[in-house]
Amino acid sequence: MAIALCPLEQLVEGQSRGFDPHGVGSDTVFALRHGGLVRVYSNSCPHLDVPLEYRKDRYLSADGQRIICYAHGAQFLPLSGECVYGPCLGERLQALAHHIEDGWLMLEHSKPGGREVSRSPIHRIRTCD
């Protein structure tokens, strides 16, 4: 069973949004649209396992070209989640499986400890588990 995050139209090109799909009281997941493609990541920096954003929905650099961890300034590529600058250089954000259903961005359930990868545009997302 998948969890609805938001209508896809609310995820605007070059912007990001945070979500609390499990109702824990903080955004544990964020999504972005870059080059027309949607990605969903766990809101956890590979450096110290802390949330990335500096305030609600602010995960991207001012030009929208990088995901930023505001703790120590690590920079990640928006489509792969690879760290290209900072203390976790070469590591990756955890990409989460998702799909579009009736115009909604849906988060697929993840296995505890499982690592999921999203590389496909918009439609169906493969996992490597």
- In the complex with ligand FES, which residue's Cβ is closer, 81 or 86? 86
CB of 91 vs ligand FES, minimal distance in Å: 10
Shortest CA distance to 46 belongs to which of 19, 17, 83? 83
Question: Do 32 and 12 touch, CB atoms closer than 8 A?
Answer: no
Our CB check for ligand FES shows the closer of 21 and 87 to be 87
3-state helix, strand, coil in the chain (%, to 5): 0, 35, 65
Q: In the complex, what is the shortest distance from the CB of residue 48 to ligand FES, in angstroms, rounded to a whole number?
A: 4
Judged by CB, which is closer to ligand FES: 12, or 48? 48
User: How is residue 12 written in tokens?
Assistant: 């605007």
Q: How far is the CB of 107 from ligand FES (least distance, A)?
A: 22
